[in-house]
Chain A
Amino acid sequence: MTILEINELTKRFGNLTAVDDLSLRIERGESLSIIGPNGAGKSTTVNLITGLLQPSAGEVLFQGEDITGARPHEIVQRGLSRSFQTASIFPELTVEQNAVVAALGAEHGSFSLNFLRRLVGYDAVADRARRTLEDMGLDEQRDLEAQSLPYGDKRRLEMALALTSEPDLLFLDEPTAGMSPDETETTVTLIERIKRDRDVTIVLIEHDMEIVFRISDRIAVLSQGAKIADGTPAEIQDDPTVQKAYLGGIEI
Chain B
Amino acid sequence: MSDAAEAPTGQGHSEAGDLVARWDAFRQREAFPAIAAIAFVILFPLVFTNLPAYNGYMSLVELIYIWAIFAIGFNLLLGYTGLLSFGHAAFWGAGAYAAGLFSVAISGDPLIMVVVAAVTAIVLAVFLGVLSLRRGGIYFAILTLAFGQMMYYIALGPLGAITGGEDGFTGVSVDPLFGVLEMGAEFAGVLGVLLHDVGYVMFASFFVLAIVGAVRIVRSPYGTIFRAIAENEQRVEFLGLHVWRYKLAAFVLSAAFAGVAAGLHTVHARYVAIASLYWITSGDIVIMAVLGGTSSVFGPILGALAFLYVENIVSGEIAFWLLILGVLFVTVVWLFPSGLWGLVSAMRTAVRRRLLEGRP
A50 near B238 with CB under 8 A, answer yes
The one of A72, A84, A93, A108 that contacts B231, using a Cβ cutoff of 8 Å: A93
Task: Write the nearest CB–CB distance from A187 to chain B, whole angstroms.
Answer: 19
Residues of A within 8 A of B241 (CB): 73, 101, 104-105, 110-111
A114 near B222 with CB under 8 A, answer yes
Residues of B within 8 A of A119 (CB): 219-221, 223-224
Residues of B within 8 A of A101 (CB): 224-225, 228, 236, 239, 241
Interface residues of B in 78-106 (CB under 8 A from A): none
Residues of B within 8 A of A100 (CB): 224
Q: Is A91 an interface residue (CB 8 A)?
A: yes
Task: Write the nearest CB–CB distance from B221 to chain A, whole angstroms.
Answer: 5
Q: Is B158 an interface residue (CB 8 A)?
A: no
B220 near A105 with CB under 8 A, answer no
A105 near B240 with CB under 8 A, answer yes
Q: Is B249 an interface residue (CB 8 A)?
A: yes
13 further contact pairs, Cβ within 8 A, besides A71-B237, A97-B224: A71-B242, A73-B242, A88-B234, A104-B221, A104-B241, A105-B241, A115-B220, A118-B219, A119-B219, A119-B223, A119-B224, A161-B239, A162-B238
Interface residues of B in 237-272 (CB under 8 A from A): 237-243, 245-246, 249, 253
Q: Is A106 an interface residue (CB 8 A)?
A: yes
Q: Is A13 an interface residue (CB 8 A)?
A: no
25 A-B pairs with CB atoms under 8 Å apart are A73-B239, A73-B243, A81-B238, A89-B232, A90-B227, A90-B231, A91-B231, A91-B232, A97-B224, A101-B224, A101-B236, A101-B239, A104-B225, A105-B236, A105-B239, A110-B240, A110-B242, A111-B242, A111-B245, A116-B220, A117-B221, A118-B216, A119-B219, A119-B220, A125-B221
The one of B228, B236, B239, B253 that contacts A115, using a Cβ cutoff of 8 Å: B253
Q: Is B354 an interface residue (CB 8 A)?
A: no
Task: Write the nearest CB–CB distance from A145 to chain B, whole angstroms.
Answer: 10
**Residue ranges of A at the interface with B (Cβ–Cβ < 8 Å):** 50, 52, 71-73, 76-77, 81-82, 84, 88-93, 97, 100-102, 104-106, 108-120, 122, 125, 161-162, 164-165
Residues of B within 8 A of A117 (CB): 220-221
With an 8 Å Cβ cutoff, the count of chain B residues facing the other chain is 29
Residues of A within 8 A of B225 (CB): 101, 104
- Report the nearest A residue to B231, measured CB to CB: A90
B1 near A92 with CB under 8 A, answer yes
Contacts known (A88-B232, A90-B228, A93-B231); A114 close to B220, Cβ less than 8 A: yes
Residues of B within 8 A of A102 (CB): 239
Q: Is B217 an interface residue (CB 8 A)?
A: yes
Q: Is B348 an interface residue (CB 8 A)?
A: no
Task: Write the nearest CB–CB distance from A52 to chain B, whole angstroms.
Answer: 8
B219 near A77 with CB under 8 A, answer no
Task: Write the nearest CB–CB distance from B256 to chain A, whole angstroms.
Answer: 11
B240 near A115 with CB under 8 A, answer no
A52 to B241, CA, bound (A): 14
B239 near A120 with CB under 8 A, answer no
Residues of A within 8 A of B221 (CB): 104, 108, 112, 114-115, 117, 119, 122, 125
Residues of A within 8 A of B219 (CB): 118-120
- Report the nearest B residue to A110, measured CB to CB: B242
A119 to B225, CA, bound (A): 11
Residues of A within 8 A of B217 (CB): 115-116
A162 to B240, CA, bound (A): 10
The one of B220, B227, B228, B240 that contacts A118, using a Cβ cutoff of 8 Å: B220
Task: Write the nearest CB–CB distance from A195 to chain B, whole angstroms.
Answer: 21
Residues of A within 8 A of B224 (CB): 93, 97, 100-101, 104, 119
Residues of A within 8 A of B228 (CB): 90, 93, 97, 101
Nearest 5 pairs between A and B by C-beta? A105-B240, A76-B240, A105-B239, A110-B242, A115-B222
A91 to B232, CA, bound (A): 8
- Report the nearest B residue to A88, measured CB to CB: B235
A125 to B249, CA, bound (A): 21
Residues of B within 8 A of A164 (CB): 239
Task: Write the nearest CB–CB distance from B125 to chain A, whole angstroms.
Answer: 15
A77 near B240 with CB under 8 A, answer yes
A93 to B221, CA, bound (A): 14
